[in-house]
Amino acid sequence: MICHIDANNGIPIYEQIERQVKFAVAGRTLLPGERIPSVRDLATQTAVNVNTVARAYRQLQDQGVLHSIRGTGLAVAQDAFEICEAERRKLIQARLRSALQEAFQSQMSLSDIQTLVEAECRRLSSDSDGSP
Amino acid sequence: MICHIDANNGIPIYEQIERQVKFAVAGRTLLPGERIPSVRDLATQTAVNVNTVARAYRQLQDQGVLHSIRGTGLAVAQDAFEICEAERRKLIQARLRSALQEAFQSQMSLSDIQTLVEAECRRLSSDSDGSP
Amino acid sequence: MICHIDANNGIPIYEQIERQVKFAVAGRTLLPGERIPSVRDLATQTAVNVNTVARAYRQLQDQGVLHSIRGTGLAVAQDAFEICEAERRKLIQARLRSALQEAFQSQMSLSDIQTLVEAECRRLSSDSDGSP
Amino acid sequence: MICHIDANNGIPIYEQIERQVKFAVAGRTLLPGERIPSVRDLATQTAVNVNTVARAYRQLQDQGVLHSIRGTGLAVAQDAFEICEAERRKLIQARLRSALQEAFQSQMSLSDIQTLVEAECRRLSSDSDGSP
DNA sequence: GTGGTCTAGACCACC
DNA sequence: GTGGTCTAGACCACG
């Protein structure tokens, strides 16, 4: 599993890790039962402190996404996929909704909003498609 | 001018005030030259700390949206409308962009995203249309 | 609020704090809406590291027992009493159950168990009653 | 001898094994002189690491419950019954005591506690009695 | 080797 | 003043 951390984007590092693990599970990159990298491995790999990774993993355990096998490490829980998929949808929907709501409330017209959304979508797909 | 503050949504209170003032100017609710509520009034009205309101006002002054009238308080600057309109677009675009980006990065397909956006737009326009 | 910590009883310190806060709420010592000691205060008062107290408080927030008032501190949530009361009952019941179950499974007779329980209860009530 | 291990209940696995061996001896399921499963057998049978079983056995030897028969394995010591019976009482009493103590400290009344205990006892005896 | 806990000390944003 | 995050380094129990 690969994990990209941006230490200066305002979002707490442990939350970035949390989210990326969840999204990986929701996207079938991480399968139920599979072991995840040890805290020490992920810490060195991402140049983040061990405690920070441990915190992310701990919170994922609290949410039932991971479960610990004593002395052996952490693995994705059997029912993690459902949890993560629901979570992903919820997170994305919430942010999208608040953004659109703000746009709408500030008296921007619906067609203006649509135009903006389409422009962004084009940008995103071209970023991932052709030119890097 | 009415200002709604949510103390626990993660967005700094002073920033919420800033945004709402700017959006009010951009939406012609606050007109250039018009006086705005005193720091104390807005503070008591919104149950927010005086320092926090003062900070928001100060930053609005720094950006040229407000200007002080000696001994009388603060008023909307003459060229505030242009500033705020541009600002509004920028702010909304930024938030929308980051929301869409996240959706896209989480391996949600573009068509799924579009569907979600449309659903939200319908919800918003129906909220403002018929039933309150 | 007073909090007693035993650093060497095997139970994590943050968990001891968590439990004592919950029990205080369940026992009406801490009332909904009431402010709790700041992390720094409780830390010095109990001779525990600030981070450890902060962790306990954070987990209590996650469970909806506390809520933070930005820049002001933490307070007991409005519906904390119900949560804590249920939690208390659950915790106690679980431990009692597992203890009794073990006793029973090891072929100790029910009357023996009852005797043991009564002896303990007498000990406990006399500890708190008369002689210290 | 049958041994049930729960890898994630907080109690160290070696301790679970220790307890269960002792309780088996105290309950006349394992008789003095009888051989116990080899480290490897118990390990595979319970899906536990060999080292962990070895550790449990070693500690049982240290306490005089088991003794090694050169080249043949381990057997229950001749005076193991007395040791284990006393130990069983001690272990059960300790756990029961701490559970009751916690209940009491959390401001639950003695009569409430008694009620809870009785309910649990009823449940236990009915579980073993009629319906499996 | 694994995760878990704790400490100490620093820095930040917010009020 | 408040809580929140992060780092560094230590120690522990478990396998």
pLDDT number for residue A70? 82
Distance CA A30, CA A81 (A): 9
- The answer to whether residue D122 scores a pLDDT higher than 80 is yes
* Non-local CB neighbours of D46 within 8 Å, separated by 6+ positions: D3, D5, D17, D53
- The answer to whether residue A129 scores a pLDDT higher than 70 is no
Distance CA C102, CA D88 (A): 10
* The CA-based dihedral angle spanning residues C13, C16, C21, C25, taken in that order and rounded to the nearest 10 degrees: 170
D21–chain A nearest CA distance, Å: 22
Nucleotide nearest to A16 (CA to C1'): F5
Share of chain C above pLDDT 90, in %: 56
C-alpha B19: how far from chain center: 3
Average pLDDT over residues A111-125: 84
What's the CA C12/C1' E5 distance, rounded, in angstroms? 7
Residue C68 CB closer than 7 angstroms to strand E? no
Residues of C in contact with D100 (CB under 8 A): 96, 117, 120-121, 124
Share of chain A above pLDDT 70, in %: 95
pLDDT number for residue C31? 96
Average pLDDT over residues A90-118: 82
Tell me the count of B-C CB pairs closer than 8 A: 8
Average pLDDT over residues A89-115: 82
pLDDT number for residue B132? 47
A76: which strand partners?
Answer: A66
**What confidence category does residue C35 fall into, taking pLDDT thresholds of 50, 70 and 90?**
very high
* Non-local CB neighbours of D123 within 8 Å, separated by 6+ positions: none
Distance CA B13, CA B51 (A): 11
- The answer to whether residue A132 scores a pLDDT higher than 90 is no
Distance CA A131, CA A121 (A): 15
**What confidence category does residue C86 fall into, taking pLDDT thresholds of 50, 70 and 90?**
very high
**What confidence category does residue C90 fall into, taking pLDDT thresholds of 50, 70 and 90?**
confident
Residues of A in contact with B2 (CB under 8 A): none
- The answer to whether residue B130 scores a pLDDT higher than 60 is no
Contact B96 A97 (CB under 8 A): no
pLDDT number for residue A85? 92
DSSP state of B35: B
With an 8 Å CB cutoff and a minimum of 3 pairs, decide whether chains B and D touch.
no
Nucleotides of F under 7 A from a protein CB: 1-10, 13-15
Q: What is the pLDDT of residues A20-59, one digit of tens each?
A: 999 999 989 999 999 999 999 999 999 999 999 999 999 9
Quote the tokens at residue D108.
Answer: 């639950």
Residues C89/C97, Cβ–Cβ less than 8 Å: no
Residue A130 CB closer than 7 angstroms to strand E? no
Distance CA A18, CA C33 (A): 31
Nearest to C101 among D100, D116, D124 (CB): D124
C7–chain B nearest CA distance, Å: 34
pLDDT number for residue A56? 97
Question: What is the average pLDDT score of chain D?
Answer: 85
Residues D53/D42, Cβ–Cβ less than 8 Å: yes
Max mean pLDDT among A26-30, A75-79, B12-16 falls in A75-79
Distance CA A104, CA A117 (A): 13
What's the CA D12/C1' E2 distance, rounded, in angstroms? 14
Half-sphere exposure of D115 (CA within 13 A, CB side): 6
Neighbours of chain C (3+ CB pairs under 8 A): B, D
pLDDT number for residue C76? 97
Average pLDDT over residues B10-30: 88
Residues D91/D19, Cβ–Cβ less than 8 Å: yes
Residues of C in contact with D101 (CB under 8 A): 120, 124
Distance CA D99, CA C115 (A): 16
Q: What is the pLDDT of residues B29-87, one digit of tens each?
A: 899 999 999 998 888 888 888 888 999 999 999 999 999 888 788 999 999 999 998 88
The 3 state secondary structure assigned to chain D is: CCCCCCCCCCCCHHHHHHHHHHHHHHCCCCCCCCECCCHHHHHHHHCCCHHHHHHHHHHHHHCCCEEEECCCEEEECCCHHHHHHHHHHHHHHHHHHHHHHHHHHCCCCHHHHHHHHHHHHHHHHHHHCCCC
Distance CA B50, CA B39 (A): 6
**What confidence category does residue B126 fall into, taking pLDDT thresholds of 50, 70 and 90?**
confident
Residue A63 CB closer than 7 angstroms to strand E? no
Average pLDDT over residues A72-84: 95
**What confidence category does residue C115 fall into, taking pLDDT thresholds of 50, 70 and 90?**
confident
Tell me the count of A-D CB pairs closer than 8 A: 8
Average pLDDT over residues D52-59: 91
pLDDT number for residue D25? 92
* Non-local CB neighbours of A70 within 8 Å, separated by 6+ positions: D7, D8, D13
Q: Does residue B28 come out as left (phi exceeding 0), alpha (psi in the -120 to 50 range) or beta? A: left
- The answer to whether residue D90 scores a pLDDT higher than 70 is yes
pLDDT number for residue A77? 96
Contact D124 C117 (CB under 8 A): no
Place of tokens 């009695």: D129
Nearest by Cα to B3 from B22, A67, A21: B22
pLDDT number for residue B61? 92
Residues of A in contact with D13 (CB under 8 A): 70
B40–chain A nearest CA distance, Å: 26
Which of C45-59, C102-116, C118-132, D91-105 has the least mean pLDDT? C118-132
Average pLDDT over residues D67-95: 88
- The answer to whether residue B115 scores a pLDDT higher than 50 is yes
pLDDT number for residue A71? 83
What's the CA B54/C1' E14 distance, rounded, in angstroms? 13
- The answer to whether residue D7 scores a pLDDT higher than 60 is yes
- The answer to whether residue C59 scores a pLDDT higher than 50 is yes
Residue B49 CB closer than 7 angstroms to strand E? yes
What's the CA D18/C1' E2 distance, rounded, in angstroms? 23
What pTM does this model have?
0.83
Q: What is the pLDDT of residues D21-50, one digit of tens each?
A: 998 999 888 999 999 999 988 998 888 888
DSSP state of A86: H
pLDDT number for residue A46? 95
What's the CA C59/C1' E8 distance, rounded, in angstroms? 22
